Amino acid sequence: METSLPLNDSHVRKTQLVINRLHAFLHGIALLCLFYYRITSLSEIIKTRDNTNIPLLPHVLIFISELILSFIWLLGQPYKWKPVVRTVYPERLPGNEKLPPIDVFICTADPNKEPCLEVMNTVISALALDYPSDKLHVYLSDDGGSSVTFRAMKQAWKFSKLWIPFCRKYGIKNRCPEAYFLTEESASSTTEFVADKKEIKERYEEFKNSVERIAADISTSVSRNHPPLIEVVSDANGSRMDTDHEETPILVYVAREKRPSHPHHFKAGALNVLLRVSAMISNSPYMLVLDCGMYCNDATSACQAMYFHLDSKLSPKLGFVQFPQKFYNISETDIYDGQLRYIWQRWEGLDGLRGPILSGTGFYIKREALYGTQKFHKDVDHIKLRNLFGSSNEFIKSIYRNYKLNFTEDRKFYDKELRSLASCSYDTDTKWGKEACEVGFRYFSLVEDFFTGFNLHCEGWKSVYIEPSRPCFLGASPTSLSELLVQHARWNVGLNQVSLSKFSPLVYGPLRMSTSQSMCYAEFAYSPLYFLSLYVLAIVPQLCLLRGIPLYPEVSSPFFHVFSFVFLSAQLKNVQEVSWTGHSIRTYWREQRIWMIKSLTSYLYATLDAVMEKIGLRKASFLPKNKVVDNEQTKRYQMGIYDFQASALFMVPLCSLYILNVASFVMGFLKILHTQKAHEMLIQVFIPLFAAVLHFPLLEGMVLRKDKGRVPPSVSLLSALISVIILSSTSPVHHY
């Protein structure tokens, strides 16, 4: 029988494994030598403090910053321990009749920020997935409760009825119409194809126009106060079951109830409503989750995921299959490092452990994993189920019922039941979204994906990472510094919420999963700490250089080589990883730059935010990213020119530190020439030089550029003032 053969295979990247382990060993030894140097020199300073005038504080600060960097480095090592790649055997997948049904969940929140046409393209591409139509059901959650989205969705469904047969007939790979017509993928050259394509293109233009008309006609205002609305999109004749059902999957619109007095828990709340509503309508055992604007670029993703979910060995423990997030709008220069290469490389490493971290979109997850029912017996107490899942008996029945397309039954009854499941109070006093209670997407953190995946791994579920050469899903990545920094600040607020709680991965993880998997979660969750190290490294060595206080060993000392080795080995390892994943050295350079910029801004504010939330001064919130395209900004992005029109909160620290570093390099350099102290200060001269070269675009933005994307002169002036104050202040390093 076909299914007895494995559907997939994995193999370890051996060369990479050897390089990684060897590097970890050497780098680790070098770090130990570095600590030895710091500890001995610190104790020396403390002992001789009365006679010498060497200040202690800068040495302590530098040591702390080195400890943090080393700690995060150590946490990241399990990622590199056993990188794994997966292959699949397409010919072994069972026939259509054996494929399990799938529900697709798409979330949108605000038509002003998430253009309706893009959302509809996501919907259409999901409807057109290469999967038996009667086993595919698409749900669109509209958190804005906007009638624009509702009406546009009906048009999208109508268009799909033409689009899907066209795609199937010609084996079109890219099932997102907007992207398909842009790329001009050619499936055939017969006259029939050319005529069909022309026809479908015209239909698409009509559809597009109708969506634009809808958006122009009615207000796109977003409501925070509305009753639930659930509608299975159907033909005008009112019969929900369409005669062409074979060709077009059902499409369900869900706007959950929202009231100002009830917390709605952002995307996790929306997904939990979809879980409940879909349980009543289709109750598929697997779900694909997609962010709006993220379209299906390869229609075979569902089958690809099934190579793992149907694998008899993997299946019982497999919670989800994660695809990487890839982006269609990344420019050649990728100045904001939008491709997130370093993340997907880690996921590959995690695949050798318990599996990749849940990444919000582009994953096929098992319904059972989100219900946490694997531990119950079938005859579990009904009261217990009500405590977990809420008061709906229909919902509770669905938990143990197999897949069944349900919505044609008693319509009135179901409508009432559905509205209750989508009401804002349904969750209250249940275990939905509660951390560590195993029901649904967890509300605890703004990064619901990270935290839910963490919980699933803690409960014993595994995950699989698959990165096919043709990306299955494509979305839009930030194209301005401002967007990038705001997005990363939000992610890191979410990570801080986890790391500052009892769910901190190093505390909560090791008892529930392997230490190595916990370390990887911790590496992610503690990464906002980078801001501490980088602020110290951007200020302390520089000020000490100007005051003639050496913080590093002098050139003749053997420890000078230790410091040089640590720096070079870290950099070269990055270069090696970047080139091994098929990128050029420029990618390495940009990754360094953006990592520092994010650490000095997003990570700092994310930590302040999370701490304020912890002590009750603030509430974290998740406003969807603006996906509306600004032409001028996009043009700059395409040309590889940074857009520094970001909030002064971001720009002032960056520019101040930049000026501080340039100034201390120049002044320090002149000073050591005079005093002949170069051998003592070499590393301290090198640090600001490295920063000044790496962040040269900031200098351009402040001084050389005249366009709209430059650093605003007011920001440059304020930054200059701040750096002068820091430079001239008798800083605390002077005494102690």
Ligand X SMILES: O=c1ccn([C@@H]2O[C@H](COP(=O)(O)OP(=O)(O)O[C@H]3O[C@H](CO)[C@@H](O)[C@H](O)[C@H]3O)[C@@H](O)[C@H]2O)c(=O)[nH]1
* Using rule CB under 6 A, residue 143 touches ligand X: yes
Which residues 677-736 are close enough to bind ligand X by CB under 6 A? none
- The single residue among 622, 669, 686, 690 that binds ligand X, judged by CB under 6 A, is 622
Q: Given 311, 449, 609, 643, which residue is catalytic?
A: 449
Per-residue binding string, ligand X, 435-474, x by CB under 6 A, is -----------xxxx-------------------------
Span near ligand X by CB under 6 A; candidates 309-317, 407-415, 485-493, 518-526? 485-493
Minimum CB separation of residue 419 from ligand X in Å reads 19
User: Is 337 known to sit in a ligand binding site?
Assistant: no
Nearer to ligand X, 63 or 521 (CB): 521
* Using rule CB under 6 A, residue 121 touches ligand X: no
Span near ligand X by CB under 6 A; candidates 102-110, 149-157, 315-323, 436-444? 102-110
Residue 446, binding choice from Mn ion, ligand X, none, Cβ under 5 to 8 Å by partner class: ligand X
Minimum CB separation of residue 527 from ligand X in Å reads 15
* Using rule CB under 6 A, residue 497 touches ligand X: no
Q: What residue ranges bind Mn ion (CB under 5 A)?
A: 291
Residue 449, binding choice from ligand X, Mn ion, none, Cβ under 5 to 8 Å by partner class: ligand X
| Residue found under tokens 């640090």 | 687
CA atoms within 13 A of residue 591's CA, in its CB half-sphere? 17
Residue 361, binding choice from ligand X, Mn ion, none, Cβ under 5 to 8 Å by partner class: ligand X
Residue 442, binding choice from ligand X, Mn ion, none, Cβ under 5 to 8 Å by partner class: none
Minimum CB separation of residue 625 from Mn ion in Å reads 5
**Structure tokens, 219:** 């207000």
User: Is 291 known to sit in a ligand binding site?
Assistant: yes
Please count the residues of this chain forming the interface with ligand X, following the rule CB under 6 A: 24
Nearer to ligand X, 166 or 336 (CB): 336
**Structure tokens, 475:** 């979305």
Report residue 220 CA to chain centroid gap.
Answer: 27
Query: Which residues lie below 8 Å from residue 686, measured CB to CB, with a gap of 6+?
Result: none
Minimum CB separation of residue 291 from ligand X in Å reads 4
Minimum CB separation of residue 661 from ligand X in Å reads 31
* Using rule CB under 6 A, residue 266 touches ligand X: yes
Q: Given 110, 130, 142, 143, which residue is catalytic?
A: 143
Query: Which residues lie below 8 Å from residue 554, measured CB to CB, with a gap of 6+?
Result: 560, 679, 680, 682
* Using rule CB under 6 A, residue 487 touches ligand X: yes
Nearer to Mn ion, 55 or 324 (CB): 324
Residue 433, binding choice from Mn ion, ligand X, none, Cβ under 5 to 8 Å by partner class: none
- Active-site residue 429, yes or no? no
Q: Say if residue 521 is exposed, middle or buried (CB neighbours under 10 Å; 0-12, 13-18, 19+).
A: buried
Minimum CB separation of residue 15 from Mn ion in Å reads 35
Q: How many other β-carbons are positioned within 10 Å of the β-carbon of residue 217?
A: 10
Residue 138: φ, ψ to 5°? -110, 130
Asked if 319 and 365 touch (Cβ cutoff 8 Å), the reply is yes
Asked if 625 and 478 touch (Cβ cutoff 8 Å), the reply is yes
Minimum CB separation of residue 359 from ligand X in Å reads 7
* Using rule CB under 6 A, residue 109 touches ligand X: yes
Distance CA 579, CA 151 (A): 47
Q: Say if residue 50 is exposed, middle or buried (CB neighbours under 10 Å; 0-12, 13-18, 19+).
A: exposed
User: Is 313 known to sit in a ligand binding site?
Assistant: no
Nearest to 78 by CA among 567, 583, 505: 505
Among all residues, whose Cβ is closest to ligand X?
A: 360
DSSP state of 642: -
**What's the CA angle centered on 320, arms 317 and 323, to 5 degrees?**
140
b/e map 121-131, b = 16+ CB within 10 Å:
bbbbbbbbbbb
Nearer to Mn ion, 110 or 291 (CB): 291
Nearer to ligand X, 141 or 661 (CB): 141
User: Is 435 known to sit in a ligand binding site?
Assistant: no
Asked if 361 and 290 touch (Cβ cutoff 8 Å), the reply is yes
Minimum CB separation of residue 267 from ligand X in Å reads 4
Distance CA 382, CA 395 (A): 12
Nearer to ligand X, 335 or 493 (CB): 493
Residue 107: φ, ψ to 5°? -110, 135
Minimum CB separation of residue 431 from ligand X in Å reads 21
Distance CA 297, CA 522 (A): 32
Q: How far is CA 504 from CA 370, 372, 461, in A?
A: 21, 21, 19
Distance CA 360, CA 490 (A): 14
Distance CA 263, CA 451 (A): 18
Residue 564, binding choice from ligand X, Mn ion, none, Cβ under 5 to 8 Å by partner class: none
DSSP per-residue string spanning 20-35: HHHHHHHHHHHHHHHH
Residue 559, binding choice from ligand X, Mn ion, none, Cβ under 5 to 8 Å by partner class: none
Span near ligand X by CB under 6 A; candidates 75-83, 265-273, 372-380, 508-516? 265-273
Nearest to 353 by CA among 517, 521, 467: 517
The amino acid at 487: Q
The amino acid at 561: H
DSSP per-residue string spanning 193-250: HHHHHHHHHHHHHHHHHHHHHHHHHS--PPPSSB--EEEEE--TTS-SS-TTTTTS-E
Distance CA 252, CA 138 (A): 6
Q: How far is CA 242 from CA 102, 120, 157, 247, 253, in A?
A: 19, 20, 12, 10, 16
Nearer to ligand X, 171 or 263 (CB): 263
Report residue 130 CA to chain centroid gap.
Answer: 26
Asked if 480 and 646 touch (Cβ cutoff 8 Å), the reply is yes
Asked if 357 and 525 touch (Cβ cutoff 8 Å), the reply is no
Nearer to ligand X, 449 or 577 (CB): 449
Which residues 340-379 are close enough to bind ligand X by CB under 6 A? 360-361
Minimum CB separation of residue 632 from ligand X in Å reads 22
Alpha helices (H) along 354-410: 367-371, 382-389, 393-399
Nearer to ligand X, 371 or 473 (CB): 473
DSSP per-residue string spanning 265-280: -HHHHHHHHHHHHHHH
Span near ligand X by CB under 6 A; candidates 85-93, 106-114, 205-213, 279-287? 106-114
Q: How many other β-carbons are positioned within 10 Å of the β-carbon of residue 634?
A: 15
Nearer to ligand X, 63 or 443 (CB): 443
Residue 360, binding choice from Mn ion, ligand X, none, Cβ under 5 to 8 Å by partner class: ligand X
- The single residue among 292, 418, 484, 543 that binds ligand X, judged by CB under 6 A, is 292
- Active-site residue 630, yes or no? no
Asked if 234 and 251 touch (Cβ cutoff 8 Å), the reply is no
Residue 691, binding choice from Mn ion, ligand X, none, Cβ under 5 to 8 Å by partner class: none
User: Is 317 known to sit in a ligand binding site?
Assistant: no
Minimum CB separation of residue 537 from ligand X in Å reads 28
Nearer to ligand X, 362 or 668 (CB): 362
Binding residues for UDP-alpha-D-glucose: 113-114, 143
Binding residues for Mn(2+): 267, 291
Binding residues: 113-114, 143, 267, 291
What is the set of active-site residues? 143, 449
Residues that bind ligand X (CB under 6 A): 107-109, 114, 141, 143, 266-267, 270, 291-292, 360-361, 446-449, 487, 490-491, 494, 622, 624-625
